């Protein structure tokens, strides 16, 4: 059975308790079968923790629903008439659709080159762990030089 995807495991652990330290998350991730090196897991922990905290800050504070304390009647609503708006329909595909389809084609090529969706996910995780595509490419050049193969 292949090792679980590191980011999914880390996200699940942090979703249960966002206040865990990176060391605790690493320990739990390792116990759930993650085989990535600790520095890579630590970077992923910090990235996902930041993302989850940003999402929590954007989400409205969840609290009890307001309750009515008095038995006052509801105000009467007056209907509002909205004039229909004509929306032009594009005669050709939009540039956004073309970009999406081009990206889908690229991802399909990557999946084929990686030998399946799971290896492609691992590549995406490696890019995320490096911090940027440029950093990943630098690491790729380094490893290709060490292994003696030219980068393509």
pLDDT surpassing 70 at residue 1: no
For residue 75, being part of any structural domain is answered with no
Tokens of 37: 């090196």
How is residue 48 written in tokens? 């996902």
- Who contacts 110 (Cβ-Cβ below 8 Å, separation ≥6)? 120, 123
- 144 found inside a domain: yes
pLDDT in tens, 32-74: 888 889 999 999 999 989 888 888 888 765 555 555 555 666 6
Range of the structural domain that residue 40 is part of: 6-58
Q: How many CB atoms lie within 10 A of CB 86?
A: 5
Cα three-residue angle 115-120-125, rounded to 5 degrees: 150
The mean-pLDDT minimum among 15-24, 61-70, 87-96 falls in 61-70
The span from the CA of 114 to the CA of 140, in Å, is 15
Give the tokens for residue 56. 């929590």
Torsion sign over Cα 16, 18, 20, 22: positive
Q: Does 74 map to a domain? A: no
Confidence band, pLDDT 50/70/90 cuts, at residue 87: low
Domain count, the chain: 2
pLDDT higher than 90, residue 21: yes
Q: Is residue 83 part of a domain?
A: no
Average pLDDT (85-111) is 73
Q: Is 1 part of a structural domain of the chain?
A: no
**Mean residue pLDDT across the chain:** 78
In a domain, 73, yes or no: no
- Is 71 inside any structural domain? no
Read off the pLDDT of each residue in 110-119 and give the average, rounded to a whole number.
83
CA distances from 36 to 56, 64, 131, 141 (A): 27, 41, 16, 20
Look at residue 25 in the predicted model and tell me its pLDDT: 92
Mean pLDDT, to the nearest integer, of 69-89? 62
């Amino acid at each position: 059975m292949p090792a679980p995807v590191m980011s999914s495991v880390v996200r699940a652990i942090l979703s249960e308790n966002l206040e865990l330290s990176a060391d605790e998350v690493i320990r739990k991730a390792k116990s759930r079968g993650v085989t990535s090196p600790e520095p890579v897991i630590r970077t992923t922990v910090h990235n996902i923790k930041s993302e989850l905290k940003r999402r929590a800050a954007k989400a409205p504070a969840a609290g009890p629903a307001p309750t009515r304390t008095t038995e006052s009647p509801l105000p009467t609503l007056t209907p509002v008439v909205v004039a229909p708006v004509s929306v032009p329909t594009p005669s050709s595909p939009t540039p956004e659709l073309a970009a999406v389809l081009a990206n889908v084609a690229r991802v399909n090529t990557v999946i084929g080159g990686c030998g399946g969706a799971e290896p492609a996910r691992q590549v995406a995780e490696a890019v995320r762990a490096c911090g940027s595509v440029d950093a990943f490419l630098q690491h790729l050049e380094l490893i290709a030089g060490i292994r003696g193969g030219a980068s393509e």
